Amino acid sequence: MAEYNRVSECVGLITLRNPPVNALSAAVRQGIVDTVQRALSDPNVKSVVICGQNGIFCGGADIKEFGSNMTGPPLIPMIHAIESANKPVVAAIEGSALGGGLELALGCHYRIAHSKARLGLPEVSLGLLPAAGGSQRLPRLIGVPAALNLITTGRHVTAAEALQLGIVDQVTDHNTVDAAVKFALSVAGRSLDPRRISTHPCPQQPDLDALFEEVMQKVRQSARGAIAPIACVQAVRAAATLPYAQGMERERELMATLFTSGQARALQYCFFAERAVGRWRMPSGARWDTSKPRPVHKAAVIGLGTMGRGITVALAQTGLSVIAVETQEKQLMEAKQAISGMLERGAKRRGVAPALDGVIYSQNIQAVADVDLVIEAVFEDIALKTKVFQQLSAVCKPGTLLCTNTSALDVDQLASETPNPELVVGMHFFAPAHVMKLLEVVYGPRSSPQAVATAMQLGKKMGKASVAVGNCRGFVGNRMLKPYIEEAFFLLEEGATPELVDQALEEFGFPMGVFRMSDLSGLDVGWRVRKGDGLVEPGTASGRSARIRQGRRYSPLGDLLCEEGRFGQKTGRGWYQYDKPGSRVARSDPWLHSFLGAYRAQHGLVARRIDHQEVLERCLYALINEGFHILDDGIAAGPEDIDVIYVSGYGWPRHRGGPMFYANMVGLAKVLERLEHYQQLHPEVPHLQPSSLLRRLVASGSPPIHKWGEAIKKLHSQL
Ligand SMILES: CCC[C@H](O)CC(=O)SCCNC(=O)CCNC(=O)[C@H](O)C(C)(C)COP(=O)([O-])OP(=O)([O-])OC[C@H]1O[C@@H](n2cnc3c(N)ncnc32)[C@H](O)[C@@H]1OP(=O)([O-])[O-]
């Protein structure tokens, strides 16, 4: 797991070998301890180089070991032994040096990085802190402000930035190990005292207290309840104010609290869930590893409204050549200007040239004749989309994949309008499409595995968290959102205010509560959908019967606001009031409160006190319950798929792992019991009726989430 060679006669070369990322497993740590000892005791060796195999230095501690009893030599004394060595040790950093990997490199006396390498201490994103001395050495090396930034955000820096910050001593475009060996030869015999970072004091910083206070305030605000970023600030504070040994003790104490926390479990679950969704599978048995994607060199986007523009930018930024089609000249020109602006701003941020030439604009759908894949992004209207699909089937070369960007329409129906339904998949982007991480790839019963594989690969290229899901109303994300929003409406009828509901959800960790979110996205969106479903009736009727539609409880509150022209931020009024249309600062609206009072009186409802606990249970358990239905229906392959969708697209707080992970943490029996409780109180609300899968899981002993897949299979086979 760590290989030892003597090179250039007097350099001991230690190579970490643990594919794919050379994580510091027990065997690797043992290998490092043994090989370092061997190099230091060999009188022919004058200096040592540590590198990793296959172009990656080290991805850090082995996260898979965290759940089990840790064995093998601990990291801290291992790194300490390297730092105290009496021969220079040089880290040769290629690929990544992350977490424990960078901490190992900080224990070395010198660091040489390849220009394409990336370095960072991303422990915070796993609910931890750099606890192998990283929180104590980095501030000593680069100063408190820069270390705070890196450790509390977990961001990866390029080799160039690492050089500028002083994390590495040299950057090379050539073979990093050769450069490191050459460097190691040049420093053999030099005094190592100035190179032992732990012996340095932190660079002086004026107004240390004020700095920490300011950073702590910012971190608390952005952490939204996550505890690791706060512990990271406390650890760096220890580095700045205490001698190294005491700082290490503080680092250990803080890590001990984080290591066993539910948040760390949730965040590490998210890390693996994000990778697991790439290994998609369909109910037909088609899978990621047996379905080969088609090459896509040229793509097209039809319809350049908000979504189409974002999709064009996302595609062009991957280096694809894109034909962007909009039939109206004025809209085409406006879109061109907007897309160019987005490409330019994006390129500036990433320090690259904008891919302006990668996009060709056209008013004519014939222009897409030779593309490999089309994404249709016209208005959400099934008749219009059907027409576009029929045109595309006639125009495109045989085998072109036809993707529809829709959030609600039936992908199967569209597929059935084309001669080749196997080439059709849904690609549900989220606005703004070039920014939002989530992509639902929607397959129908006739979508070919190759079409799904191609859309999934394209999503990955665009940097999206792509999740393959089955076709149903609202797919996964929006289908689960419906009961969540409905419960929020019902709570208003029963006595809550938008402020109370939003506060409960924001304290839980959502960036915005349901009503602030609804004001942002526009109340008219849901109104249009409800009208299409035949649910909206003029708001004059009163009493209980007016609130039962299509045989179930219905709240017309959203419709009534729309009838008043209150569409949210864009009209300056919605669930809240805004200074002017388009303004983002939501303020309580006395009109809304008296409107709610009048509404309750009209319908014979008596307001009661509603607490945060009820808001969370009713909104979140209703959403989770729908998640269980989705799993039972085979629309999502596993709970990880649902959780990745919610964390990356719907603002579910990552440190709570996603709705299904949260249900697992709360306890399935408890979720079931609360749903049963609310269902008894509200028998006319079908989404509070516990799903049969939830009942069956509880009856089979509530298996842990990583065993749900097996349990679901077993429970299905018993039916
Ligand atoms: C006392 C301790 C203190 C210490 O401070 C704590 C730490 O170091 S905490 C650690 C701090 N370090 C981090 O947070 C770094 C976490 N890692 C990363 O950010 C990326 O994996 C990396 C950038 C390295 C490569 O990206 P890429 O090229 O796109 O590749 P990819 O992402 O698809 O991963 C490929 C496979 O490797 C797996 N795997 C990866 N890392 C680890 C690991 N540390 N362990 C185990 N496994 C790991 C990953 O699951 C996947 O497996 P599979 O079965 O194929 O799905």
Beta-ladder partners of 51? 15
How many whole angstroms from 60 Cα to the centroid of ligand 1? 7
DSSP string, 564-588: TT--BGGGTBSSSB-SSTT----B-
Residue nearest to atom 11 of ligand 1 (CA): 99
CA distance 75 to 23: 12
Residue 710: the pLDDT is: 83
How many whole angstroms from 535 Cα to the centroid of ligand 1? 49
Name every residue whose Cβ is closer than 8 Å to that of residue 503 and which is 6 or more positions away in sequence.
513, 612
Peptide bond into 639 cis (omega under 30): no
How many whole angstroms from 99 Cα to the centroid of ligand 1? 9
Residue 540: the pLDDT is: 59
DSSP string, 634-655: TSSSSHHHHHHHHHHHS---GG
Q: Which atom of ligand 1 is nearest to the CA of 20?
A: 37
Q: Which atom of ligand 1 is nearest to the CA of 59?
A: 24
Per-block average pLDDT, block size 10, for the chain (719 residues)? 95 98 98 98 97 98 89 96 97 98 98 98 98 98 98 97 98 98 96 96 93 97 96 98 98 97 98 97 93 96 96 96 96 96 94 93 96 95 92 94 91 92 96 95 95 97 97 96 97 98 97 96 90 79 77 93 96 97 94 97 95 98 98 95 98 98 98 98 96 95 92 75
Residue nearest to atom 41 of ligand 1 (CA): 59
Residue nearest to atom 24 of ligand 1 (CA): 59
Residue nearest to atom 28 of ligand 1 (CA): 21
How many whole angstroms from 372 Cα to the centroid of ligand 1? 34
Q: Which atom of ligand 1 is nearest to the CA of 275?
A: 56
Residue 212: the pLDDT is: 97
CA distance 576 to 585: 9
Residue nearest to atom 27 of ligand 1 (CA): 21
Q: Name the nearest CA neighbour of 121 among 202, 204, 58.
A: 58
CA distance 378 to 390: 14
Instruction: Give, in order, the Cα–Cα distances in Å from 430 to each of 210, 275, 440.
Output: 40, 20, 9
How many whole angstroms from 461 Cα to the centroid of ligand 1? 19
How many whole angstroms from 275 Cα to the centroid of ligand 1? 10
How many whole angstroms from 61 Cα to the centroid of ligand 1? 8
Pocket test for ligand 1, best of 1, 16, 18, 21 (most atoms within 8 A of CB): 21
Residue 492: the pLDDT is: 98
End-to-end alpha-carbon separation of the chain, Å?
Answer: 47
Residue nearest to atom 53 of ligand 1 (CA): 275
Residue nearest to atom 20 of ligand 1 (CA): 59
- Determine the angle formed by the axes of helices 612-632 and 668-681, rounding to 10 degrees: 110
Peptide bond into 20 cis (omega under 30): yes
Residue nearest to atom 39 of ligand 1 (CA): 21
Q: Tell me if 427 sits within 8 A of 441, measured CB to CB.
A: yes
Residue nearest to atom 51 of ligand 1 (CA): 275
Q: Which atom of ligand 1 is nearest to the CA of 63?
A: 45
Q: Which atom of ligand 1 is nearest to the CA of 129?
A: 5
Q: Tell me if 476 sits within 8 A of 636, measured CB to CB.
A: yes
Size of the chain in residues: 719
Q: Which atom of ligand 1 is nearest to the CA of 118?
A: 23
Name every residue whose Cβ is closer than 8 Å to that of residue 172 and which is 6 or more positions away in sequence.
112, 113, 114, 115, 179
Rg (CA), the chain: 28
- Choose the catalytic residue: 9, 83, 94, 123: 123
Residue nearest to atom 22 of ligand 1 (CA): 59
List ligand 1's pocket residues with C-beta within 6 A: 20-21, 23, 59-64, 75, 96, 98-100, 103, 122-123, 126, 128, 130-132, 134, 272, 275
The pairing of beta strand 424-429 with beta strand 438-443: antiparallel
Pocket test for ligand 1, best of 63, 119, 232, 252 (most atoms within 8 A of CB): 63
The amino acid occupying position 49 is: V
CA distance 685 to 677: 12
Name every residue whose Cβ is closer than 8 Å to that of residue 208 and which is 6 or more positions away in sequence.
144, 240, 241
How many whole angstroms from 55 Cα to the centroid of ligand 1? 15
Q: Name the nearest CA neighbour of 87 among 178, 196, 200, 245.
A: 196
Q: Tell me if 10 sits within 8 A of 44, measured CB to CB.
A: yes
How many whole angstroms from 103 Cα to the centroid of ligand 1? 15
How many whole angstroms from 220 Cα to the centroid of ligand 1? 26
How many whole angstroms from 655 Cα to the centroid of ligand 1? 18
| 564 assigned to active site | no
ipTM of the complex in this document: 0.99
- Choose the catalytic residue: 83, 103, 440, 617: 103
Largest Cα separation within the chain, whole Å, is: 94
CA distance 208 to 139: 13
Burial classification of residue 229, based on how many CB atoms lie within 10 Å of its CB (0-12 exposed, 13-18 middle, 19 or more buried): buried
Q: Which atom of ligand 1 is nearest to the CA of 98?
A: 12
| 3 assigned to active site | no
The amino acid occupying position 423 is: L
Residue 537: the pLDDT is: 79
> Is 298 strand, coil or helix?
strand
Read off the tokens for 651.
């603002």
Q: Which atom of ligand 1 is nearest to the CA of 75?
A: 1
Residue 229: the pLDDT is: 98
The pairing of beta strand 552-553 with beta strand 548-549: antiparallel
Q: Which atom of ligand 1 is nearest to the CA of 76?
A: 1
Provide φ and ψ at 99, rounded to 5°.
55, -130
